[in-house]
Structure 1
Amino acid sequence: MAGSTQAVCNGARPKIDFSYFGGAESFTEGKRSLRRTTVVSPSETDDGVSNPGPPQDPTDFLWIMTEEPHRSRRMAIMKAHPEVTKLMGYEPLTKYVVLVVVSLQLYLAVCLRHTHPLSFGFLFLAYAVGGTANQNLFLAIHEITHNLAFKGINANKALAVFANLPIAVPYSAAFKKYHIEHHKHLGEDGIDTDLPTNFELLCLNNVLGKTFFATFQIFFYALRPGFVRMQTPTRWHLYNLVAQLIFDYILVRTFGVRPLLYLLFSSFFAGSLHPCAGHFIAEHYVWDGLNQETYSYYGPLNILAYNVGYHNEHHDFPSVPWTRLPALRALAPEFYDVLPSHPSWPMVIVNFIRDKEVGIFARAKRIAKSSEAKHGSSSSDRE
């Protein structure tokens, strides 16, 4: 403190520790980027300050031969804390949160029916409120995909279709199968559609490309699965499509096109340069020379995002609902507090764009386990 005061008195600017803001330091030419992730409980192998490993090769993904870490950690936690099973099960609160957020979006959409879509007020509400609300609905569908809103599978699927309505584009039915594959085949090339493609690595592996990717993330996540592997349509794909088309038609027929534009803008902003959208990059991109595939975030934005920041915890125990993920972490701190995590979602986006050590390439990939998983589907997947 005295040093900072003396620097000010001498006319020099005091040195600011930008690590409090998630690592917002300026580039230092010729030197590595500073540490971007933090560790609650530093250890001999990771002090939480220095980079644990050398920079990753920016010309290719991080190919690994080991099994994904979540199954083994789940087994270890269940052995050490068998009471963890009490945290599993559905969460009745979810359906009420979905109802409130859907109602809010419909109310705002109708209120803006006389406002020009390119006016400041329209765009501000679509970004600040609509983007946050639709991101919340994206993550509600994520939660419901794991059958954590109701006991019955069909009730969960119906709620997902309902939560999809303000998003304005049908996707909840397709998301379910792709996301379950993401859990079962984490990082497997040609199966896990959360992974960037080689085309993305080739075209977007620079500051301009990463800026484009971060701005239009929503389109990459929407279109990429179709290029990687197509799904066999089910009756729920049809229900999702028909319900969304009827909803959009009634909305436009009754109130004009502007309410629908508000919802579409909200969905775009939710998957663009939005504070909550940082979770897309934060969850599975590799940082700081680590071989770690999944990262958590424990900050306040979890309140708006179904605690999706507790991402290691979620992948370890997908059957634990959002309201109990903090309890899961508190139950097993010896497993989670030693894992590097992100201090800030917004700074994840900033650092992803500008850091030379992190980019489209910074994802762990592994060879697919079986051709059956890569090219086929079980009968249960089709229901």
Structure 2
Amino acid sequence: SGTQPKGLEPRPPTPMTWRMVGVPAPVFPGFEFDILDRVPSEEKPDSIWHRDRARAILRAHPEVRELFGHEPSTAAWCVLAASLQLLLAFVAGFWLPWWGAILTAWFIGAPLNIVLFQLAHECDHHLVFKSSRWNRWLFTYTSLPMFFLGHHTWWIDHIIHHNDMSAPKDFVMRRRAVYLGMRHLPPLFVPYGAFVCVTQFLRTGLGLLLYLVTSLLRFRATPSDVSLAVLGDVHLVSGYKKEKIEFWAVAYPLISLAIFGALWWLAGWQAILYLAVSQVFFTGYLHPYCLGWVLAISHVHNRDRFQPTASHYGKWVNLTTFNAGLHVEHHDLMGIPWQQLPKLRRLAPEFYEDLVPLSSYIALALRFTFASSDRFISLFDTDTVNLTRRLITRAQKRQA
């Protein structure tokens, strides 16, 4: 039976609204915000923890600054990985039966999406080129095979995740809230990713239609706030304007649809099936390794003390994912590219020796999925209590 975590009062289910459909980290009613809202320090303790660590590391080891910079060679890996995923889609379309496409997606496609995610993440942090435009176009090609039309939102959301980590505007915090709140319907057995992918296509279609209509009515090509709110989300509109990438919110899904349409025409529906199922497995459905990785980057890692992030130091994991396991190091100093990130721990070992690492993504996924209610609370009680309290406090302040 479900034991109520101490300090929490029972709350009625959160009602769904249209704006929550088709987004991977929905904004719940009562917790609305704008992406440019200023967040006080007390509302983002996880971000402050990493900020203080970064300052201490740089004071103690000024030589760490030499690790910062750009790595243009990453572009070759981006093109290679994305092209490989598209090539596998062609193989699935021409030579594999439908069940072969699904098996290939499980064994190769889903783990390869982790690679694409990590490489696109490097572009998002401007760690490949000095030019924001070139990074953004490389991000576009790298993330296209992941079969999600809304990846353009990540360009805005992800940096906020670093600067305001653990605040309600942090999309990872909202995703973590979904995982913790739905733990009796775990992602390992419920294909949430499939629902988000399908509804994202519908949402994008509506957004593009609104863009066409509002542009004709206004005699302006610039996307209206209404179309941006549907293509991205209401809270992101000001972010698109600040970054001056309103057109990209239209261009990204159009390019994606063109690529998927061409792929279907050239290689058939099984090529699309391969990409779609790879994305669903990537979100953790029937794939413990991917689910454990998603939980880890969502900061769900069963710690018994305050440690917002955790790293996985497995050589094979980091070798095959471009050091995606070095999560603490990345959040400490996000200006260090993946090639240089292992050197940070070697230069400043005293800042990492006392932290609790992750030993296995699969073990984390299985603990999260199969733990009894009491065991789940003992493993994830800190996550559940602190997260829910912060959400409720923020909502009460806004309603006051």
Please report the TM-score for the alignment, with normalisation by the length of structure 1: 0.72
Deviations 1:292-336 (A, max 9, x none): 111111112122222121111100101001111110111111001
Is 1:133 the equivalent of 2:112? yes
Structure 1 stretches (4+) deviating beyond 6 angstroms? 220-228
How far, CA to CA, are the matches of 1:361 and 1:204 in structure 2? Answer: 16
- Whether contact under 8 Å (1:307, 1:325) holds in the other structure is yes
Aligned residues: 312
Within 5 A, what are the aligned runs for 1:337-352? 337-352=353-368
Is 1:110 the equivalent of 2:90? yes
Give SS of 1:341's match.
coil
- Whether contact under 8 Å (1:95, 1:149) holds in the other structure is yes
The one-letter amino acid paired with 1:124 is: L
Q: What's 2:313 paired with?
A: 298
1:248 Cα deviation from its structure 2 partner: 1.1
How far, CA to CA, are the matches of 1:112 and 1:93 in structure 2? Answer: 29
Q: What's 2:24 paired with?
A: none
1:361 Cα deviation from its structure 2 partner: 7.4
Deviations 1:322-359 (A, max 9, x none): 11111011111100111111111111111111232345
How far, CA to CA, are the matches of 2:71 and 2:329 in structure 1? Answer: 16
Is 1:243 the equivalent of 2:264? no
CA pair 86-269 structure 1, distance change in 2 beyond 3 A: same
Give SS of 1:187's match.
coil
- Whether contact under 8 Å (1:201, 1:360) holds in the other structure is no
Which residue of 331, 345, 349 corresponds with 1:329? 345
How far, CA to CA, are the matches of 2:53 and 2:268 in structure 1? Answer: 52
Q: What's 2:300 paired with?
A: 285
How far, CA to CA, are the matches of 1:345 and 1:359 in structure 2? Answer: 16
Which residue of 186, 192, 203 corresponds with 2:165? 186
CA pair 106-122 structure 1, distance change in 2 beyond 3 A: same
CA pair 199-305 structure 1, distance change in 2 beyond 3 A: closer
Within 5 A, what are the aligned runs for 1:195-234? 195-196=173-174, 200=178, 204-206=182-184, 208-209=185-186, 211-212=188-189, 216=192, 230-232=235-237, 233=240, 234=246
How far, CA to CA, are the matches of 2:193 and 2:258 in structure 1? Answer: 27
1:105 Cα deviation from its structure 2 partner: 1.4
The one-letter amino acid paired with 1:278 is: G
Question: Which has more radius of gyration?
Answer: 1
Please report the TM-score for the alignment, with normalisation by the length of structure 2: 0.69
Q: Which has the higher contact order (CA 8 A, sep 6+)?
A: 1
Deviations 1:70-110 (A, max 9, x none): 00000000000001111011112211111111221122111
Which residue of 253, 266, 272 corresponds with 2:278? 266
How far, CA to CA, are the matches of 1:198 and 1:303 in structure 2? Answer: 27
How far, CA to CA, are the matches of 1:241 and 1:228 in structure 2? Answer: 14
How far, CA to CA, are the matches of 2:247 and 2:254 in structure 1? Answer: 11
The one-letter amino acid paired with 2:66 is: K
Identity in percent: 29
1:168 Cα deviation from its structure 2 partner: 2.5
CA pair 66-143 structure 1, distance change in 2 beyond 3 A: closer
Is 1:362 the equivalent of 2:383? yes
1:59 Cα deviation from its structure 2 partner: 5.1
CA pair 202-142 structure 1, distance change in 2 beyond 3 A: closer
Deviations 1:195-234 (A, max 9, x none): 247984785243x446446x53676799899999632152
How far, CA to CA, are the matches of 1:253 and 1:220 in structure 2? Answer: 24
CA pair 174-292 structure 1, distance change in 2 beyond 3 A: same
Give SS of 1:322's match.
coil
* Structure with the largest fraction of helix: 2
The one-letter amino acid paired with 1:216 is: Y
CA RMSD of aligned residues (A): 3.5
Give SS of 1:195's match.
helix
Uncovered stretches (5+) of structure 1, i.e. residues with no partner: 1-54, 376-383
Q: What's 1:33 paired with?
A: none
Q: What's 2:265 paired with?
A: 253
